Structure 1
Amino acid sequence: MTTWLRIVMRRENNEVITCALANTGFEGLGPDILMPINVAQRLGLNLLGGTEVYAIRTASGVAPIYRFRESVSVRVLVNDRDTPIVRLIPIASESVDYVILSDKALTELGIVIIDASNGIWYFRDELGRVFRTSCTPD
């Protein structure tokens, strides 16, 4: 198992709730959130304007990614507390099937992964007091 976080993403009047992969190996340019094209569209992000296009190497070849100049609001959803809203830079790609949080996005969200293979994590301010488990991706 990997570490998954239930998050809500918002942009203007659009909202998407999903499980996102917490991936410390995704070294973004900043606090980035990588998502499938259809998720970007559900958030009202326009691929034709306001993006920088990059080519990345994937297991199946080279694929374009679209890095937006505007941010989206993101927060982690847990049952026992309110969590801060952070601004992350969306990146959209046809080569991903789910939302992935970059290493810098995890830092902004205050996430610490304790046991990656078992999906156990906590918020930085809960050190030694709380252990949380992963959500199940849809």
Structure 2
Amino acid sequence: MRVLVSRVKSASVEVEEKIVGKCANGLLILSCFTENDGQKEIEYLAKKCASLRIFDDEDGIMNKSIVDVGGNILSISQFTLYANADKGNRPSYIKALGGTEASKLYDEFNKELSKYVDVETGVFGADMQITAHHDGPINIIIDSK
């Protein structure tokens, strides 16, 4: 499992020109799943995302988590995080888990995240338009393995 965590002032996701999820003063998390991912990876990365100290404290030092600042999360599935562009110019996505299995893991990941903070989501498998007002910018890639 792989996530891209971005600290944002605000973010939203649209499907068919309708906003289906948003967050403010929080995290935009893009997630991707691969073969053999399961509950262990989900729990690890959900806790890691909720615990990352990437928000400023009173002294301007990144010392607070999303939980500490009372922010929320916009979680979006993103199979291209496992892209391999080593050969040629067209990336391969064969490491990304597809369809039904990935959808179930995405739902489980969001349930696990919601144990820590409020979570809004995109629509798995949909064509989505994402708007984000990045803060910092701070973007962190984390793998479960």
TM-score by length of 2: 0.29
Which structure: greater helix fraction?
2
Quick one: higher RCO (CA 8 Å, sep 6+), 1 or 2? 2
Which structure: greater strand fraction?
1
TM-score by length of 1: 0.29
